Chain A
Amino acid sequence: QKEVEQDPGPLSVPEGAIVSLNCTYSNSAFQYFMWYRQYSRKGPELLMYTYSSGNKEDGRFTAQVDKSSKYISLFIRDSQPSDSATYLCAMSASQSNNDMRFGAGTRLTVKP
């Protein structure tokens, strides 16, 4: 079993839809949780990071962490075609991120 599991999709939604992206993990030591967006042939771009459980909102993006269930989510409201990309979850037990583990990524397409 991988430490971080993420449904690779692909996920296709119409413009304006609410998108829900999820990851599960097995290592209870993870405390820092991140979401990255990666466009084709580009490096990952940090979208959000959270510490421990709870919610964090940034514009159209909301990150949720449920440590009791070892489950994290990213919600995208009012999705746009420019949101079409691969979304990677990442998590770490230490603040130094040297133990950061990534999911395989979910490929999202938002259709106009």
Chain B
Amino acid sequence: DTGVSQNPRHKITKRGQNVTFRCDPISEHNRLYWYRQTLGQGPEFLTYFQNEAQLEKSRLLSDRFSAERPKGSFSTLEIQRTEQGDSAMYLCASSLVLGAFFGQGTRLTVV
């Protein structure tokens, strides 16, 4: 499968715990994005990498969120001290030029 891969697909965690998600983009894509999507809404931009450089972060990305892309390949998104409001689908996308290609997402439920 040469598409964008995200792991895990589902994560249930207790409030206050830390969680980490992984994204493996399409191999030749140098741009990588994280989005968050809640029910009935379109994806909301969180952050953007070009190669290993994090070039933009949304105001939605509070201090509890951190993302890395250490070697310009895979990326991780960590949420510390999870809150119930963090429950959502976290989507990763990658692109080379126009049009971003999304993974299947990680569905996070905070209980």
A residues at B contact (CB < 8 Å) = 4, 6, 8, 32, 34, 36, 41-46, 49, 51, 88, 90, 95-105
Contact = CB atoms under 8 A, between A and B. Distances in A.
Contact of B95 (A43, A44, A97): A97
Given A96-B50, A100-B45, A34 B97 contact: no
B74 interface: no
Interface string B7-36: 000000000000000000000000101000
B48 to A, nearest CB: 4
A90 B102 contact: no
Contacts of B4: 43
Interface footprint category on B: 20 to 34
Contacts of B101: 46
Contact of B91 (A8, A34, A44): A44
Interface string B50-75: 10000110000000000000000000
Interface centre among B41, B43, B102, B105 (most CB of A within 10 A): B43
11 contacts: A42-B105, A44-B102, A45-B102, A46-B100, A46-B101, A49-B98, A49-B99, A97-B98, A97-B99, A98-B45, A98-B56
A105 B38 CA distance: 12
Contacts, number: 63
A49 B95 CA distance: 13
Contacts of B55: 98
Interface string B87-111: 0000100010111111111010000
Closest 8 CB pairs of A and B: A102-B42, A43-B102, A98-B48, A49-B99, A43-B104, A44-B102, A43-B105, A46-B99
A49 B100 CA distance: 10
B104 A32 contact: no
Interface centre among A4, A32, A41, A43 (most CB of B within 10 A): A43
A103 B98 CA distance: 18
A110 to B, nearest CB: 20
B98 A99 contact: no
B40 interface: yes
